[in-house]
Structure 1
Amino acid sequence: MTHSNDNISARKGKHLSHSERSQIAILKTQKYSNRQIAKALGCAPQTINSEICRGTITQLNRQKQNGKVYDYYTTLYDPDAGQAAYDKLRLNCGRRPKWADTDAFIEWADDKLLQEKWSPDVVIGFAKTHDLFDSSIIPCTTTLYGWIDKGIMRTKNMDLLEKLSRKPKDTTYRSRRNKRMLGQSIEQRPAEIDNRQTFGHWEVDTVVGNKTKTDSVLLTLVERQTRFEIILKLNGKDIESVNQAISQLRYRAGDTFSKVFKTITSDNGSEFAGLHEALHETLDVYFSHPYASWERGTSENQHKFIRRFIPKGKAINQFSETQYLRIQQWMNDYPRKILGYKTPHDCFANALRSLSQAT
């Protein structure tokens, strides 16, 4: 829409509506000039000129007089014709959407989202990092979410676990009195661990199924720098089961245990009450504040991945060891944005390689 110097600024950037086009038709029948109509509507005279040119139609009028028929043509502005011309022009406005050029990316993205449970951001980041498609057909993450909302893809919002379960983050720490601390506080943890500058610092936690005493529990350990995950099945949520699983892990790791496991950060759950006593000669164990799950954010985020396969309330006994290993493998082979869209498995292998070279 063209604007003149005397145009009202409030109209800037706005298009004529159908009701305003009806006002133009009425004012034209009252012999208003285009400039007078523009002043009445608060827009530029050129806008009215262009609108009238697009919406002017020719009518055939037929009149009978003295037994003869006379035809003559008249021109007038019709608001419906103006609106139809405007709607037709709007169809050609804007940039052509990327999905209109080819279905290759959408089909690949749907497969990753539905079959491999990737998030939209990982889909975009992995495709760009590995040059799987021409950059002209790869949208940004926000656009991909928009395609899902509009129904352009087979993937629906209900297929995106993170989008449905995401809640505002509460970072306020509420101090609670008379709560036990099982060992060294997380406040004593060195800054290099907080900043993830070094390898070998882990977070440990448990994943509960249907909360019955007879159901099994998952013990999870995640390396903070590489996000590498280890999942172990426990017979129950108690000190003996946790200590037994840690002992098995030490036995399997052998001489490399002290190199790979330098520190472990836990919560103050009763099942970890014996963790400090069992490991203090080998590594440092730190405990987060009570009711401060954000202090172990890596572990909490990893649990969201596990919940994609083991929903809350579902008995863990229903899942076999093979299924746990598949979940663990999927998590370690899942590209992460924070890792430059590399997988935790690759980063963990590189860290082990660096350790062996240094040795």
Structure 2
Amino acid sequence: MSYTHLTRHERDVISYLKSAVSLREIGRRLGRSHTSISRELKRNGPTCPDQVYGADAAHDRAQLRQSLPRHYRRQDHAPLLRYVERRLHIDWPPGAISERLKLKYPDDPKMRISPETIYRWVALDSHQGGELFRHLRRRHKHRRRQKRYGAGRRFIPGRVGIEQRPAIVNERIRFGDWEGDLVVGSRNSGAIATHVERKSRYLKASLLENRKAETFNTAAITVYQQLPQALRQTLTLDNGKEFSRFNELESSTTLKVYFADPYAAWQRGTNENTNGLLRFYFPKGTDFSQVEEAELTRAVKRLNHRPRKCLGYRTPYEVIRHALGGALAN
């Protein structure tokens, strides 16, 4: 049976019968478990022993509790709060904190928290002048409003969604499947177009003076035409207007372009993670109009020669170069 909250009428019945019959009998008459009645009295009953249960006051308490966000309720458990704060202070990511709690306290349901709740706590701490956000990888002071699927963004005409992308792309068993995006500079100072090969995590990047579709295409076509045909299979993009002229890109490169679902960054997780690594060299607020091509080339080379755990601590360059028999220059 699915759970439903007690109604105002049911609380009236509890108030009327409490002093006359047992909790089991009240539950039988309401079609509820006697434990539900007991829990109601403990949660929403009077705080002083000499007071009686009143339906009006109990219903008001229940409504207030329902309106309170869940992440506030978790903060009532001091051991959980201490554990989370201590791990944040040593720079553990929320996802790792959430999973480690399950390992450390396998039989304690009170020691559970989702990564999203931890992010909400950090945002609340920031609003109150705290510094916990500085221990997060991206150091956002405020939590971004979480948008519903597809809200507020129109589809690019003629786009082919990721649901039609060949299943082999998800398996990462071949080379030539790419993910693309932009890393945006401050105050419309330009952007960096990033292209990451899914199997090897190999990165190609270009400086753009603006975010126009024709500017992106010009740079992207140059990047992909320099690659062997074996490395040009698919490209997965988001739904930004800078990718609206994807048909030209397809015809010039032989790539098949697919689009991720709106606000589903995890569908391009390889690209998103690589953009985060690139931000180490070009933090948010960077004026890209002042960045030299040589600086970007140096940063990209360092990332392509950086060992990755997901590659068995080989580098993206080693993986893709071995596959192509030394066809890439750097």
TM-score after normalising by structure 2: 0.53
- Match of 1:226, SS? coil
1:185 paired residue number: 161
1:213-228 correspondence runs (5 A) = 215-228=189-202
2:64 paired residue number: none
Cα distance 1:354–1:200, how it changes in 2: closer, same or farther (>3 A)?
farther
Tell me whether 1:283 sits opposite 2:288 in the alignment: no
1:294 paired residue number: 266
Cα distance, 1:317 vs structure 2: 1.7
Tell me whether 1:176 sits opposite 2:145 in the alignment: no
Contact 1:173 1:292 in 2 (8 A): no
Tell me whether 1:237 sits opposite 2:208 in the alignment: no
Cα distance, 1:178 vs structure 2: 6.7
Percentage of pairs with the same residue = 33
**Alignment RMSD (CA, Å):** 3.3
- Match of 2:226, SS? helix
- Match of 2:263, SS? coil
Q: 1:318 aligns with which of 267, 287, 290?
A: 290
For 1:298, give the aligned amino acid: T
1:1-359 correspondence runs (5 A) = 162=137, 174-176=149-151, 179-182=154-157, 183-212=159-188, 215-253=189-227, 256=228, 258-280=229-251, 282-353=254-325
For 2:160, give the aligned amino acid: Q
User: Structure 1: 5+ residue runs without aligned partners?
Assistant: 1-156
In the alignment of these two chains, the number of paired residues is: 196
Contact 1:171 1:294 in 2 (8 A): no
For 2:163, give the aligned amino acid: E
Mapped partners of 2:136, 2:153: distance in 1: 37
TM-score after normalising by structure 1: 0.49
Mapped partners of 1:337, 1:169: distance in 2: 29
What are the Cα deviations for residues 328-347 of structure 1, in whole angstroms up to 9, with x where unaligned?
A: 01110111111111100101
Cα distance, 1:198 vs structure 2: 1.3
What are the Cα deviations for residues 66-108 of structure 1, in whole angstroms up to 9, with x where unaligned?
A: xxxxxxxxxxxxxxxxxxxxxxxxxxxxxxxxxxxxxxxxxxx
Cα distance 1:167–1:343, how it changes in 2: closer, same or farther (>3 A)?
farther
Mapped partners of 2:318, 2:160: distance in 1: 32
Cα distance 1:274–1:333, how it changes in 2: closer, same or farther (>3 A)?
same
Mapped partners of 2:171, 2:303: distance in 1: 22
Contact 1:208 1:218 in 2 (8 A): yes
Cα distance 1:169–1:222, how it changes in 2: closer, same or farther (>3 A)?
farther
- Match of 2:235, SS? strand
Mapped partners of 1:297, 1:167: distance in 2: 22
Larger radius of gyration: 1
Mapped partners of 2:133, 2:297: distance in 1: 26
What are the Cα deviations for residues 214-264 of structure 1, in whole angstroms up to 9, with x where unaligned?
A: x221110000000000011112100110111123224433xx2x3211100
Bigger proportion of residues as strand: 1
Cα distance 1:162–1:180, how it changes in 2: closer, same or farther (>3 A)?
same
- Match of 1:206, SS? strand
Contact 2:201 2:270 in 1 (8 A): yes
2:23 paired residue number: none
Contact 2:249 2:255 in 1 (8 A): no
Cα distance 1:166–1:158, how it changes in 2: closer, same or farther (>3 A)?
closer
Cα distance, 1:318 vs structure 2: 1.9
Contact 1:232 1:245 in 2 (8 A): yes
Contact 1:203 1:224 in 2 (8 A): yes
